[in-house]
Structure 1
Amino acid sequence: MWPQFAPLRLPLRRRLQTAAVLQWVFSFLAMAQCCLVAFLALALGEGWALAALYAAWLYLDWDTPARGGRRSAWVRGWAVWRYFRDYFPIRLVKTAELEPGRNYLFGFHPHGVLVAGAFGNFCTEATGFSALFPGLTPHLLMLPFWFKVPFFRDYIMSGGLVSSEKASVSHLLGCEGGGQVAVIAVGGPPEALEARPGALTLRVRDRKGFIKMALRHGAALVPVFSFGENELFCQVSNPRGSFVRAVQERLQHAMGLALPLFHARGVFQYNFGLLPFRRPIHTVVGAPILVPKTPHPSREAIDELHAAYLRKLVQLFEENKAKYGVPEDKHLILA
């Protein structure tokens, strides 16, 4: 099949939208490696003194990703994120009031390949989180590994990303006075391997750690479903039991990272590349499930709350799917 090239006379705003998404994909796939190389170049070259100063700073600042991070309102408000939002476009949908006097644990579904909806809604102000939910501060949880990379850790923290380790979640949910929101992509790396157009499989049945944390701190649970998240990329066929899936799962267990073999469109042509398709994302925030503070929750209490959470998640999906293009006969598969 001949490649389908982008028209030469596209409006400037479309070009800027593509550039914004290109830098975002780069930040996910290569920025950490570039930052590490830059640090090593400084350390092994004439910039060794700067590298030594940064290493000392890194030592003193090591726990910051697990203590609320270091967000920057300036970075979150960059114009580039508005172009990023409009590329798809991304919309944040509020269905219930959330009191700022509480702490919240948002369960984000589905993970997708690169969690574009979670990033756009909770790591930037492009979709108006602060206006929709005044008094609340969102923090998107990310694997601790990435906060060990020099320079890169400072960049991702500026958007509101924090470590997903237990100490980090406890710090947020235990804040006196409330107003903190920890956002977790519940399905994690295993669910990323399921992400492809039309997929509705969620890896949630054996995911109960976030339920336990909510009980320990009395944080309200909020199901969030991002319609369109799985429509952004295709994946190389990797059914369970296949050689490709076996290799991916082995690497995931060894490294803690998902390595989906994804593809979508390119910068100047629409047939193949690593840019996501232009598909709308509607991230719907459900009503809160109030949780009693239980410092030492029993297995029964965890299972009961987990079941209640799944019911609310399914209800949120069913009530909204027709609005966002999901056929009536399609339902969530909870694995």
Structure 2
Amino acid sequence: MNIINIADTVMNRAARYHDHRVEGLEHIPTSGPALIVVNHSLATYDSGLLATAIKAKLGRDVGLLGDRYIFKVPVLRDLATTYGFVEGSQHNAESLLRDGELVLVAPGGMREALRPSSQKYQLDIRDRKGFAKLAMRTGAPVILSACPAADDIYHVVPNPVTDWVYNRYRLAAPVIFGKYGTPIPKPAKLVHYLNAPMSPPDNGTDDDPEAVDAFHARLESRLQEMLTEHASA
């Protein structure tokens, strides 16, 4: 079995395991660029499930921006690259958008993923404004996607070791409990809820700090609203 088949098998089994579905796929354009912004869970692969669903239903590939640490692990790097992940950078994302592609980003990155479970369903992108600047610079519409149940896949325990490793090396060293207290993911039922596209200011630039702050605040507020609303559904 080659690596492409392995990646497909992993995602298909994960989708069945989590009974995954997407609400709001009609908001994804059938052509042209769009920036899909998601909340970041510790499991991470929930973003891949969304990209898989978009490919299956709409026939569009999604460029997933991955945390740099993914590309430091040989096997994980190969799987991620095969499945459409690219190393997260403004350059890579802008190139894809200007080529008319769909790009998916979790702006909170590893910091948000490592939140303890006492902070689940809480967005942590307050100072992550690069995605807003990217949309403003390219004119790409932003489609917000909330999947609160992704925070239920693992119980994340707060501890100083996790904080120290992240702050010093920007690597993940979480203390987690999954199914039956093991590292096996819990079978949380995952639903991605998509918001209607939100257009950036029509000026084609990101050099106005006040405009960036205002657009970022709109996106952050709406995504948090979606997480809170659907976490209680």
When normalised by structure 2's length, the TM-score is: 0.86
Q: Name which one, 1 or 2, has greater alpha-carbon Rg.
A: 1
Q: Aligned-pair distance for 1:252?
A: 1.0
Q: 1:171: which partner in 2?
A: 95
Gapped regions of structure 2 (runs ≥ 5): none
SS of the equivalent of 2:146 reads strand
SS of the equivalent of 1:228 reads helix
Q: After TM superposition, where is structure 1 displaced by more than 6 Å over at least 4 residues in a row? A: none
Identical aligned residues as a percent: 22
The question of whether the paired residues in 1 share the 8 Å contact of 2:93 and 2:103 is answered with yes
Q: 2:175: which partner in 1?
A: 261
Q: 1:100: which partner in 2?
A: 30
Summarize deviations over 1:14-48 as a string: whole Å, max 9, x none: xxxxxxxxxxxxxxxxxxxxxxxxxxxxxxxxxxx
Partners of 1:306 and 1:163 in 2: CA distance: 22
Match of 2:20 among 83, 87, 90: 90
Bigger shift: 93-102 or 297-306? 93-102
Match of 2:194 among 272, 285, 302: 285
Q: 1:222: which partner in 2?
A: 143
The question of whether the paired residues in 2 share the 8 Å contact of 1:197 and 1:232 is answered with no
Over 3 Å counting, the alpha-carbon distance change for 1:101 and 1:278 in structure 2 is closer
Q: 1:273: which partner in 2?
A: 182
Q: 1:52: which partner in 2?
A: none
Partners of 2:54 and 2:35 in 1: CA distance: 15
Gapped regions of structure 1 (runs ≥ 5): 1-70, 239-243, 266-270, 328-335
The reply to whether residue 204 of structure 1 matches residue 125 of structure 2 is yes
Structure 1 residues 1-335: aligned runs within 5 Å: 78-94=8-24, 96-109=26-39, 111-122=40-51, 125=52, 128-134=53-59, 136-150=60-74, 152-175=76-99, 178=100, 180-196=101-117, 199-236=120-157, 238=158, 244-245=159-160, 247-265=161-179, 271-291=180-200, 292=202, 294-317=204-227, 321=230, 326=232
Over 3 Å counting, the alpha-carbon distance change for 1:138 and 1:117 in structure 2 is same
Query: Whose relative contact order is higher, 1 or 2, with alpha carbons under 8 Å and at least 6 apart?
Result: 2
Q: Aligned-pair distance for 1:306?
A: 0.9
Partners of 2:154 and 2:119 in 1: CA distance: 11
SS of the equivalent of 1:206 reads coil
Summarize deviations over 1:112-162 as a string: whole Å, max 9, x none: 21223212222xx3xx3124344x321221123433555653332111111
The question of whether the paired residues in 1 share the 8 Å contact of 2:27 and 2:195 is answered with no
When normalised by structure 1's length, the TM-score is: 0.61
Q: Which amino acid aligns with 1:147?
A: F
Count residues in correspondence.
Answer: 230
SS of the equivalent of 1:201 reads coil
- Of Structure 1 and Structure 2, the greater helix share is in 2
Over 3 Å counting, the alpha-carbon distance change for 1:315 and 1:112 in structure 2 is closer
The question of whether the paired residues in 2 share the 8 Å contact of 1:215 and 1:297 is answered with no
Q: Aligned-pair distance for 1:204?
A: 1.8
Q: Aligned-pair distance for 1:221?
A: 1.0
SS of the equivalent of 1:257 reads coil
Summarize deviations over 1:305-335 as a string: whole Å, max 9, x none: 11221243244346x52xxx616xxxxxxxx
